[in-house]
Amino acid sequence: MDINIRKCRSDDLEELRTIAYETYDETFRPMNKRATINRYLAEAFDRKKLAAELANPACHFYFLFADEQLAGYLKINEAPAQSDLNDPQSLEVERIYVRKAYKGKGLGAHLLHFALQLAEEMQKRSVWLGVWEKNTEAIAFYKKMGFNEAGRHTFRMGNELQSDWIMKKMVSPED
């Protein structure tokens, strides 16, 4: 399988909205109430909101192509765009999603390795992410990739507050 990753541009907005909405919906709809997921999807992937994130120099989106087909995407944040820690020495992986048809092919690991490589290039000490405590499959994946639980935070999903694990991996030693 030929794999390519490229940074998203402002003219990728509609394609980004489509894959972001689709992958989030297929991942979390079965685990949430209909009204909750519908509200979250409408808010999180609102065209203006997503365009502002694309324009933010501290937010970085990347498309992953498998055999020239859009198979997944990644969103990473530097401080102060991070959703929680706002640590200038870290990089947040806010979103990492692969389309259902491409799951089980190692593409999620490919995206995560790419994020870790970017963190090293940016001279960050660590990479962190939030993962819903009920998403046991993702937690197992992140543990396998060398991430450890480093705390908890609250995540708003529609009208509900959910508990996320904050998981972290060091990419360079602390001084």
Distances (CA, A) of 75 to 31, 40, 97, 161, 174: 22, 17, 9, 22, 25
Any catalytic annotation for residue 21? no
- Cα–Cα nearest to 77, from 89, 60, 64: 60
Distances (CA, A) of 18 to 9, 22, 23, 119, 123: 15, 6, 9, 27, 32
By the 10 Å C-beta count (0-12 exposed, 13-18 middle, 19+ buried), 27 is classed as middle
The residue annotated as part of the active site, out of 40, 73, 97, 142, is: 142
Give the chain's radius of gyration (CA, Å). 15
In this structure, are strands 126-132 and 90-98 parallel, antiparallel, or unpaired?
parallel
Cβ atoms 47, 18 nearer than 8 A = no
Active site residues: 142
